[in-house]
Amino acid sequence: MILRNTTILFILFIATLVQAQFYSGNVLDQKEQAIQGALVFWLNSPDGTSTNQKGYFKLLRKPENQFLVISYTGFKTDTLKIPPDQSSATFHLNEGLLLQEVQVDAVKRSNTFSRLNPLNIEGLEQKEFKKAACCSLSESFMTSNAVDVSYTNAATGTKEIQFLGLRGLYTQLLMENRPVFGGILSTTGYDLIPGTWLDRVNIQKGASTTIYGAQSMTGAINLQLKMPHDDYPMYANVFGDLHGRLEANLHLNKKWNESRASGLYLNGSFQNVNRDHNSDSFQDDSRVNRVNGMIRNTFLGHTWEGQLNGQAIYEKRNAGQFNVENPYLIAQEISHLNLFGKLGYVKFNNELQSAGSIYDISYSKNNSFFGNKNFVADEKRIFLQAFYNHPFDEGIHQLMMGPSFVYNDAKESYKNIVFNYNETVGGLFLDYNFKNELRPDNRLSLTASQRLEWINGNRFLYIPRLNARYLFAEDWTLRASAGRGYRFPRIFSDEASLFATAKIWDIQNVPKMETSWNTGLNIVGKPYVNGQELNINLDAYYTWFQNQVVVDLDDNYQRILIYNLEGRSFAFQTIGTISYPVLDQLQIKIGGKYTNSQSTFKKGLRQNLLVPKYRALVSIDFESSNKKWLWNVSANYVGKMRLADKDNVPENLIHEHIGYSDDYVQLQSQLNYTNKSWEFYIGTENILNYTQHQAIIDPANPNGSYFNAAEIYAPVAGIKPYAGIKFRIKEKRM
């Protein structure tokens, strides 16, 4: 009996193998480079997989499987009919999917919202960076509804971001999964990353994974840079504007063989023109000289993969008065050295299994003068991270775990005040991922992330996070997240813009770390309307603090009062974004957001300074059918912001600095033309020429009691036309 049953099962097994075959293929881009992570599955079937680092996939094919679906973030998903006798094929994914001389058009979106990832990630692709001058990371968010660029200082012209209703200090900046430009460079790092180096920007909203640390209190911005084995052998870009800014970029890449490649990435930014549109004797734009270079080396073997990279930055920024006796001058020098890389083992039988490590060693220094006041800060940092990922039950369950080590040694000095920071953190993280079925569009996914850290040898800190994703309809996804985060503050560097004031620093009890919780909901819909995909993204996030450094500018105009939070501090933000191709070549994106950001000050619970309650965005893209012309026009509405109290300040000095700021609209546009290896672009920022005309309080007396160049809510410089040219060599490298 047992023998008969065994024989029957064996015959059925052999029959199944006869009827079922394996189908394999490669997914490549336009430059014949492998696309990793593309989803490949049979229509109406649970059988699916994703491409590995070589762009290769293999999946079981049954007789009823006729239509293959290939999906990759940034492209419209398409379904391809596979001939019954075909066992393998190569698919080229660019602006379309090619199959046997039949092109299936796929409109590539430059701003994407994933429905399948349990984390709420908004992606910005390379085409999005073409819509603005985009000479730095901070300028690449002008067409994004998620990240806002704010102005911090009328004298130096530096910029930082706001995210989910809070300053960019609370957003973790990652470069290829490693934390960068933290500590003393937290407020300047977004200006130190050239736009041409960017391949993709992933904006992670809310409490995401703790794999790369717990500093993502409101979220993280993860930068994917261009790789020497994927980038052009030579790429050059020159940019200039009518305010005297000149920027140049050069990429030189060499592919030594199929496994090894090297690249040299250079950026230079120069501005040496004095402009003063309101005749207050202060320069509208600071004079900047910056040199930024990176060397990249990659190795992609069959057993090991790795990177060894180095970066060096030097920036000198001069600002202040000119054409006056005994001028008030500002000088800032920033230097940064960085050695970083990765090493991973890839020779596992299961492509979902992986092991690797990330390392980063850096040194940063800031030496600044604001009039006769000198501020000096330096920081040494070591970051080490190892991880191992193991799948269970064919990938239904996955565990990623690993140790980490962070060492920070920083010092800040201003006048006779010195802060020393020494932080040693050993950590262990565990990420558990679950999906209820193996198909890529499974209905339910969960990510439970935990991190335990041992801080300075005397304190444990537990950081739990949870992300869930549920496909509640064919075209709709619901996400929810909750988690904890923390950061180590840098008292002076975090508030460096306040050095450009006459205020006296009054530092009381401050916490050694800031801690917060974040929770949020996200809905993504991609229904088809008139044959075109309508993208809808809705977010609602709430962040609240347990410990926070409070900077109180209301209690006494002459003082910068800094103390630990005593009461409530929170930020609630809702975001809505809709994009739709109204015509084949014309796409419109409309967005808006509401923010309620409050903290407890000496005068009670009040709105945080310089955070607009309402913002809106309209962006229109036109791309010609031959892909040669790309035109964008974007309008950003910025609502009113609360300004600091001005008790006892003479009325004749206040001007635009009382109560709330004016709301305004910023309009920008850019036109690109591409012809083979050349690309030309022209554009204009601040087309409506809106400025904060009296940006500085009491500019005639910078050494007096009322001088303040730090209360900035709008552009200081007016309309800014610019033009640029790009050149690239497209031939394959040897």
Written in H, E and C, the secondary structure of 468-510 is EEEEEECCEEEEEEEEEEEECCCHHHHCHHHHHECCEEEECCC
Listed by start position, the domains of the chain span 22-108, 113-729
- Give the torsion sign (CA, 697, 701, 705, 710): positive
State the Cα–Cα distance between residues 517 and 483, nearest whole angstrom. 6
User: Per residue in 252-310, pLDDT tens?
Assistant: 999 999 899 999 999 999 998 888 888 899 998 889 999 999 999 999 988 999 999 99
Summarised one tens digit per residue, pLDDT across range 543-598 is: 999 999 999 999 999 999 999 999 999 999 999 999 999 988 899 999 999 999 99
pLDDT level of residue 155 (50, 70, 90 thresholds): low
Q: Which helix (H) or strand (E) holds 652?
A: helix 651-654
Predicted confidence (pLDDT) per residue in 344-362, tens digit = 998 898 888 999 999 999 9
In this prediction, residue 35 carries a pLDDT of 83
Per cent of the chain over pLDDT 70 is: 91
**Cβ atoms of residues 554 and 563 within 8 Å:** no
CA angle 153, 157, 158 (to 5 degrees): 80
Give me the count of residues in the chain. Answer: 734
For the residues 638-644, what does the mean pLDDT come to?
97
Structure tokens at 266: 């250079």
Distance CA 667, CA 716 (A): 15
Decide if pLDDT at 105 tops 70.
no
**Encoded tokens for 141:** 């968010």
Give the whole-angstrom CA distance, residue 233 versus residue 240.
24
* Residue 703, Cβ density class (10 Å: 0-12 exposed, 13-18 middle, ≥19 buried): exposed
**Could you report the per-residue pLDDT of 694-709, keeping only the tens digit for each?**
999 999 999 999 999 9
Both tokens of 617, joined, read 């965005």
Confidence band of 4 (pLDDT split at 50, 70, 90):
very low
Nearest to 164 by CA among 89, 220, 91: 220
pLDDT at residue 530, as a whole number: 85
Tokens of 646: 């001005």
> pLDDT band at 490, cuts 50/70/90?
very high
Compute the distance between CA of residue 485 and CA of residue 205 in angstroms, rounded to an integer.
Answer: 13
Of 686, 724, 731, 727, the closest CA to residue 240 belongs to: 724
Residues 645-701 have pLDDT tens digits of: 999 999 999 988 999 999 999 999 999 999 989 999 999 999 999 999 999 999 999
Evaluate if residue 733 carries a pLDDT over 60.
Answer: no
Q: How far apart are CA 618 and CA 579, in angstroms?
A: 10
pLDDT of residue 337: 98
Taking a C-beta distance cutoff of 8 angstroms, is the pair 120, 206 a contact? yes
- Find the DSSP H helices in 490-622: 491-494
pLDDT of residue 590: 97
What's the confidence (pLDDT) of residue 107?
Answer: 46
Helix (H) or strand (E) holding 11: helix 2-19
Q: What's the pTM value of the predicted model, to 2 decimals?
A: 0.85
Phi, psi angle pair for 161, to nearest 5°: -110, 165
Q: At CA 451, angle to CA 52 and CA 465, rounded to 5?
A: 80
User: Which two tokens mark 486?
Assistant: 């923390």
Q: How confident is the model at residue 212 (pLDDT cuts 50, 70, 90)?
A: confident
The per-residue pLDDT for 672 is 95
Question: Is pLDDT at 154 greater than 70 in this prediction?
Answer: no
Total Cβ atoms within 10 A of residue 561: 19
Q: Quickly state the pLDDT bin for 731 (edges 50, 70, 90).
A: low
Of 77-86, 330-339, 615-624, give the lowest mean pLDDT range. 77-86
pLDDT tens-digit map of 131-146: 777 678 888 888 889 9
Higher pLDDT, 628 or 58: 628
- Quote the pLDDT of residue 91: 82
Residue type, 583: L
pLDDT reported for residue 14: 37
Under a CB-based contact definition with an 8 Å cutoff, are residues 696 and 711 in contact? no
DSSP tag of 335: E
Q: What is the pLDDT of residues 419-449, one digit of tens each?
A: 999 999 999 999 999 998 877 678 899 999 9
Class of domain 113-729 (CATH, top level)? mainly beta
Distance (Å, whole) CA 164 – CA 306: 35
Is the model's pLDDT at 33 over the cut of 80?
A: no
Q: What is the arithmetic mean of pLDDT over 506-512?
A: 93
Provide the residue type at 154 as one letter.
A
Q: What's the fold here for domain 22-108?
A: Immunoglobulin-like (2.60.40)
Strands (E), 125-230: 147-151, 159-163, 166-167, 171-175, 178-179, 198-205, 219-225
Element spanning 17, H or E: helix 2-19
Average pLDDT of the chain to the nearest whole number: 88
Residues sharing a CB contact under 8 Å with residue 447, sequence separation 6 or more, in sequence order = 118, 119, 209, 431, 432, 433, 434, 465, 466, 467, 468
Residue 284, C-beta contacts closer than 8 angstroms, at least 6 positions apart:
243, 275, 276, 277, 716, 717
User: Of 389-393, 527-531, 560-564, which range is least confident?
Assistant: 527-531
- Rounded to 5, what percent of the chain is helix, strand, coil? 5, 55, 35
